[in-house]
Amino acid sequence: MKIKTLPVFITIVFFIIFFIFFKGLQNSNIYVPKSEFENDIPSFKAQIFDSEKKINSTDIFDDGKFYLVNIWASWCAPCRIEHPFLMNLSNQKNLEIIGLNYKDKKENAKKFLKELNNPYEIIIQDKDGTIAIEWGAYGVPESFLIYNNKIVKKIIGPINKDSFLKIQERIK
Amino acid sequence: MASLIGYYSLIFGFCFSLLIVLFSIKNFRNTNIFDNKIIFLTFMQFSFVVLSFLGLILSFVYSDFSNQTVFNHSHTTKPLFYKISGTWGNHEGSLLLWLLVLTLFIFIFLLRSKEQTKQYRILTLLFQQIIIIGFYIFVIKTSNPFNYIFPIPSEGLGLNPILQDPALAIHPPILYLGYVGSSIIFSSTLAATTLNYISKEWAKHIKNWILVSWIFLTLGILIGSVWAYYELGWGGFWFWDPVENVSLMPWLALTTLLHCILVLEKRLALTSWVVILSISTFTLSMCGTFLVRSGILNSVHTFTNDPDRGLFILIFLFCLIFLSLFIFFFFHKDKTQLSNNFFWLSKETSILINNWFMMYFLAVVFIGTVYPIFLEVITSEKISVGPPFYNKLIIPFLVPFLFAMTIGPKLKWIKSELRNKFNLITFLIISLLLSVLIIKSLNISFLLNSLLITAAFYLFFITLRDFFTRKFENLSQSISHFGFSLLILSILFNNILSTEIITNLKIGETFVTKKFKINFEKIEQKEEQNFKAIIGKFSVENSKGNIEILNPELRIYNQPNIVTSEADIKTNFLTDKFMTMNLVQNQDYFNIRYQTKPLMIWIWISVLMISLGGLKSLIKKKYEN
C-alpha cells in the first residue's frame, strides 16, 4: 500500500506546482517599486496611429485635466483583460485616455480595437518602443495617470478592479 | 538568403529527429547489433542545426534586417564581435544554441559509448530525442529566429548595451554546455533505470558526463558573476537575483550528484539518490529556463514577456517530470541492499551528510526563488526575497558543512576510524586561535563569524596539508575542496573588510577622509563606433602618499539610446579598488561611488580552482584506465 500512495502523493504535489506556475503566468509579474514622487512627464514627438501626422506631447496634455496614458499592444494578453476597465473609464467626463501602441503591427492593432472597441481619444505609435523607454515603462500594459503635466499615479501591469477604483477615486 | 537557409535547415533537422526516432525503435526491436545508420542520422541532424546556426550568425554579421531577430537585436554600427555574440544574446538565438548543444552532445554520446549495450544506447538516444523534439517545436512554433519582416527596415534596434561585453559574449555558450550536458545525464539515467542497467560500470561511464557539465556550469556561473561585478556597477558579485539562483540550483544538485556517483562507482550504493538527482538536475535547468523566459520573474534575462512561450515550456517541463516520475516509480529497483551495512563513521555517512546539507541549501534557494510566485497566486500579495533571507538561512549551516567537508575525505569506506587524530586536533586549535586573533584585531565580535572563519581555516589547512602528505592520491578532490575553503574565506573577508564611499563631486573638487583623498581632476570625451564616452579622471591618494589614477566612464550608446556607467577597477592580489561615476540630473555634480574590495581576485581564483579539480578528475580517468 505504501508504495502506491507515495507516487500518487508526489504526482499530486507536482500537479499543484504546475497549477500555481500556470496561474502565475497569467499574473502580471513585475515588482513595483513604491514611488511617491510626482514626476514631470517626458516630452516627445510621435506619429499618430493610422495617419501620417505627427504630434507633440505638449499639444496633447493640458493643465487642469486628467489623462491616462495607457501602453498597450495587440499581442499582449493582459491588455485584453484590462480593456473593459479602459472602456469604462473612457466614459468618465474629466478623463482622457491616450493610447501608446507599443511595438505593434498596424493591422493587428486595428483588429484588436475593432473587436474590443476603442477607448482612446488619441493613439500614438511607438513602433520601436523608445517612447515607452522614456516614460520609464517596465512592460506592457502599463498606465500613467497625469494631472498638470505630472505623473500622479503609475499602474504597472493590467488595470484591475482595485486600481480601477483608485483611479476613479483620484479623478473625482 | 542566409536566413532562408537557416530556416530550412531547422526544418530539415526536425525531420531528421523523426527519422532517428523511427530507426531507433526499429533497431531496438529487431537486431542485436547497433545500427550505425543511426549515428549517421544524428550527425546529419547536428550538421543541420550547425547550418541553421551559421545562417543566423551570417544574418547578424551582414545586418540582414529582413530577419526579425536581427532587427530587434542588432544595429549596423555595432562592432563585429558583438554582432556575432548578439546571435545568442536574445531569446530566439539562445534557443537555437540550446538545440545546437543538445544535438552535439547526443552525437558525442553515441560515439563514446560503444562499449555499452545496444538497448541502453538506443533508449538514451530516444529520451534525448524527446527533449530535442520538444525544443524543435518550441523554437519553430513560438520563437522562430528566422521570422521575415516586410518592408525591410533600414536600421535595427540594437543590442542592450550592458550585454555588449566580452564576458557576456561567452557566458551563455559555456553555461548552456553545463545545462544541456545535464540532459544527457537525464536521458541516460532514465534509460538505465528502465533497463535496470545501473551498475558500477555505468557509474564510471556517466561520471565523465557529470564532470563535463559540472565544470562548464561552474565556469558559466563564474563568468556571469564576474560580469555582474564589473558591469552592473554595485561592486557586488552575487545578488541572489532569481536568475542567479536559477543557475545555482542545478549546480547544487549536480555537485551532490557528483559525490553520489562516486559512491555508486565504488560501492553500488545510493542508487536512488543518483536517479533522483539526475532527474532533478535537468528539470531544475529546465525550470530555470521556464522561470526566466516566461517572464514570470523579472530580470535582465527576461527577453520578452510572451505567455505562449511560458506556457509551452511549462507544459513540456511537466511532461518530462511526469515521465521521469513514472519511470522512477515503475522501473526503479533499489540495488542498495549493501547500503545498510556501513558504520556511522565512514565515507558513505559523510557523503550522505554532504547530500542532506546540499539538499537543504537547494531547498532554501528554491523556496526563496519560487515562494514569491506562490504567494502572489494564492494571496495576490507581492514580496521580494532578498539577500538577508539567504544569508540568515545559509550562513549558519555552512559551519557544520565545512567541518563535515574537512573530516569526510579522511574516512574510509564501510567502516573507519579517525587516524591522525593528533593532526586533526592540532589544526583545529590553530584555526581557532587564528580566527580569534583576526576577530580581535578587526574589532568585530560575532560568534558566528569566528566560528565560520575557524571552520573555513580548518578546511583550508587540512586540504593544504593533503597536497604534501597525500602525494597525488585523490588530487582532484583536494584541489576542489581547497578551492572551496579559499572561496569561503575570500567571501568572508571581502564582506567584513569592504569599504564604500558615495559622494557627489564637481570637477576639481577633492573629497577627504582619514584614510585617503579622492581628487576629481577632469573629464574627457571620446567617440567610439557605437557610443560616446565621458571619461572621468580621479586620483586617489592613500595615507602613505601612494597615488592611483582611476578612470570610470559613462557611455552614451546610440542605439538604443541608453547611458551606462562603466566601473574602473584596479586589481591586485590583495584588494580591488572600484569606482563608478553617474550623472546627477540637471547639475554639474557627478555621483561618485568608490569602493575597496579586499581579496576580490581570490574569489575568482578559488572558483577556477574548484572547476580545475573537476578537470583534473576528468583527465586522470583517461590515462589511468
The string of pLDDT tens digits covering residues B417-462 is: 666 777 788 888 888 888 888 888 877 766 777 888 899 999 999 8
Interchain CB contact of A12 with B (< 8 Å): no
Interchain CB contact of A139 with B (< 8 Å): yes
Distances (CA, A) of B502 to B82, B563, B590, B593, B613: 33, 20, 11, 4, 40
Q: Which residues pair with B571 in a beta bridge?
A: B576
Q: How confident is the model at residue B86 (pLDDT cuts 50, 70, 90)?
A: confident
Residue B349 sits in the same domain as residue B200: yes
What's the rounded mean pLDDT across residues B450-477? 84
| Residue B579 confidence (pLDDT) | 87
The residue among A133 and A165 whose pLDDT is bigger is A165
Separation of alpha carbons B231 and B496, rounded Å: 23
Q: Cβ–Cβ of A20/B378 closer than 8 Å?
A: yes
pLDDT at B212 over 70: yes
Q: How many residues does chain B have?
A: 625
Pairing of strands A95-102, A122-126: parallel
Cα torsion through B141, B146, B147, B152, rounded to 10: 180
Q: Which residues, in sequence order, are CB contacts of B292 under 8 Å at separation 6+?
A: B242, B243, B246, B299, B301, B302
Q: How confident is the model at residue A32 (pLDDT cuts 50, 70, 90)?
A: very low
| Residue B625 confidence (pLDDT) | 41
Which cell numbers hold the place of A18? 504546475
The region of weakest confidence among A14-23, B338-347, B358-367 is B338-347
Provide the 8-state DSSP code for B470.
S
In chain B, what is the greatest distance between 2 CA atoms, to the nearest angstrom? 83
| Residue A30 confidence (pLDDT) | 47
What's the rounded mean pLDDT across residues B403-408? 87
What's the rounded mean pLDDT across residues A55-75? 84
| Residue B587 confidence (pLDDT) | 66
Residue B244 sits in the same domain as residue B148: no
Interchain CB contact of B329 with A (< 8 Å): yes
User: Which of A146-160, B164-178, B331-345, B548-562 holds the top average pLDDT?
Assistant: B164-178
Q: How confident is the model at residue A1 (pLDDT cuts 50, 70, 90)?
A: very low
pLDDT at B50 over 90: yes
Residue B128 sits in the same domain as residue B83: yes
In the listed set B388, B410, B432, which residue is the last one of a domain according to the structure?
B410
Separation of alpha carbons B98 and B273, rounded Å: 27
- Chain A environment of B560 (Cβ under 8 Å): 130, 133
How many contacts does A have with B, using Cβ atoms within 8 A?
64
Does residue B446 belong to any structural domain of this protein?
A: no
Separation of alpha carbons B539 and B512, rounded Å: 12
Angle between helices A77-90 and A161-171 (to 10 degrees): 30
Q: How far is A61 from chain B (nearest CA, A)?
A: 24
Q: What percent of chain A has pLDDT over 70?
A: 90
Q: Cβ–Cβ of B307/A77 closer than 8 Å?
A: yes
Residue B203 sits in the same domain as residue B144: no
Q: What angle do CA B167, B173, B179 make, to 5 degrees?
A: 120
- Chain A environment of B295 (Cβ under 8 Å): 29, 139
Exposed, middle or buried by CB within 10 Å (0-12, 13-18, 19+), for B539? middle
pLDDT at B300 over 60: no
Q: Which residues pair with B500 in a beta bridge?
A: B595
Residue B365 sits in the same domain as residue B217: yes
- Could you give the number of structural domains in chain B? 3
Average pLDDT taken over every residue of chain A: 80
User: Which of A63-67, B298-302, B355-359 holds the top average pLDDT?
Assistant: B355-359
Provide the 8-state DSSP code for B514.
S
Distances (CA, A) of B499 to B494, B515, B565, B576, B591: 9, 11, 20, 11, 17
Q: Is-contact B146 B10, C-beta < 8 A?
A: yes
In the listed set B354, B383, B410, which residue is the last one of a domain according to the structure?
B410
Q: How confident is the model at residue A170 (pLDDT cuts 50, 70, 90)?
A: confident
Instruction: Tell me how crowded residue B37 is: count the other CB atoms within 10 A of its CB.
Output: 12
What's the rounded mean pLDDT across residues B234-254? 87
Residue among A123, A103, A124, A107 at smallest CA distance from A115:
A107
Interchain CB contact of B255 with A (< 8 Å): no
Residue B118 sits in the same domain as residue B71: yes
| Residue B216 confidence (pLDDT) | 95
Provide the 8-state DSSP code for B153.
P
What's the rounded mean pLDDT across residues B36-64? 93
Q: What angle do CA B147, B170, B612 make, to 5 degrees?
A: 145
CATH H superfamily, domain A36-171: Glutaredoxin (3.40.30.10)
Does residue B229 belong to any structural domain of this protein?
A: yes
Q: How confident is the model at residue A39 (pLDDT cuts 50, 70, 90)?
A: low
Residue B41 sits in the same domain as residue B142: yes
Interchain CB contact of B304 with A (< 8 Å): no
Cα torsion through B297, B303, B305, B311, rounded to 10: -80
Separation of alpha carbons B551 and A64, rounded Å: 48
Q: How confident is the model at residue B106 (pLDDT cuts 50, 70, 90)?
A: very high
Separation of alpha carbons A150 and A144, rounded Å: 10
Interchain CB contact of A6 with B (< 8 Å): yes
Q: Which of residues 219-248 of B touch A (CB under 8 A)?
A: none
Does residue B373 belong to any structural domain of this protein?
A: yes
- Chain B environment of A138 (Cβ under 8 Å): 298
User: Which of A50-59, A107-116, B392-401, B533-542 holds the top average pLDDT?
Assistant: B392-401
- Chain A environment of B143 (Cβ under 8 Å): none
What's the rounded mean pLDDT across residues A82-97? 86
Exposed, middle or buried by CB within 10 Å (0-12, 13-18, 19+), for B407? middle
Q: Which residues, in sequence order, are CB contacts of A52 under 8 Å at separation 6+?
A: none
Which cell numbers hold the place of B473? 592520491
What secondary structure, in 3-state letters, does chain A show? CHHHHHHHHHHHHHHHHHHHHHHHHHCCCCCCCCCCCCEECCCCEEEECCCCCEEEHHHHCCCCCEEEEEEECCCCHHHHHHHHHHHHHHCCCCEEEEEEEECCCHHHHHHHHHHHCCCCCEEEEECCCHHHHHCCCCCCCEEEEEECCEEEEEEECCCCHHHHHHHHHHHC
Q: How confident is the model at residue A22 (pLDDT cuts 50, 70, 90)?
A: confident
| Residue B303 confidence (pLDDT) | 52
Is residue B542 classed as helix, strand or coil in its secondary structure? strand
Question: A47 φ, ψ to 5°?
Answer: -85, 140
Q: Cβ–Cβ of A25/B297 closer than 8 Å?
A: no
Which cell numbers hold the place of B335? 540495488
| Residue B559 confidence (pLDDT) | 67
Is residue B541 classed as helix, strand or coil in its secondary structure? strand
What's the rounded mean pLDDT across residues B347-367? 91
| Residue A7 confidence (pLDDT) | 82
pLDDT at B382 over 90: no
| Preceding amide of B151 cis, omega within 30 | yes
ipTM of predicted assembly, 2 dp: 0.70
Residue among B372, B314, B282 at smallest CA distance from B102:
B282
Exposed, middle or buried by CB within 10 Å (0-12, 13-18, 19+), for B559? buried
pLDDT tens digits for range A43-53:
777 888 877 78
Residue B11 sits in the same domain as residue B134: yes
Does residue B473 belong to any structural domain of this protein?
A: no
| Residue B366 confidence (pLDDT) | 93
The residue among B293 and B112 whose pLDDT is bigger is B112
Please state whether B586 falls in left (phi above 0), alpha (psi between -120 and 50) or beta: left
Q: Is-contact B181 B216, C-beta < 8 A?
A: yes
| Residue B470 confidence (pLDDT) | 67
The region of weakest confidence among A10-24, B264-278, B577-591 is B577-591
Domain ranges of chain A: 36-171
Average pLDDT taken over every residue of chain B: 85
Separation of alpha carbons B452 and B489, rounded Å: 9
| Residue B265 confidence (pLDDT) | 87
Residue among B261, B262, B265, B287 at smallest CA distance from B274:
B261
Does residue B33 belong to any structural domain of this protein?
A: yes
pLDDT tens digits for range B2-25:
888 999 999 999 999 999 999 898
Separation of alpha carbons B120 and B184, rounded Å: 13
| Residue B515 confidence (pLDDT) | 80
Question: A124 φ, ψ to 5°?
Answer: -110, 155
State the residue range of the domain holding B250: 196-310+345-410
The residue among B16 and B557 whose pLDDT is bigger is B16
Pairing of strands A54-56, A66-72: unpaired
Is residue B579 classed as helix, strand or coil in its secondary structure? strand
The region of weakest confidence among B399-408, B525-534, B580-589 is B580-589
| Residue A54 confidence (pLDDT) | 83
Residue B544 sits in the same domain as residue B403: no
Q: How confident is the model at residue A31 (pLDDT cuts 50, 70, 90)?
A: very low
| Residue B243 confidence (pLDDT) | 82
Q: What percent of chain B has pLDDT over 90?
A: 34
CA terminus-to-terminus distance, chain B: 49
Does residue B468 belong to any structural domain of this protein?
A: no
What's the rounded mean pLDDT across residues B401-411? 86
| Residue B342 confidence (pLDDT) | 66
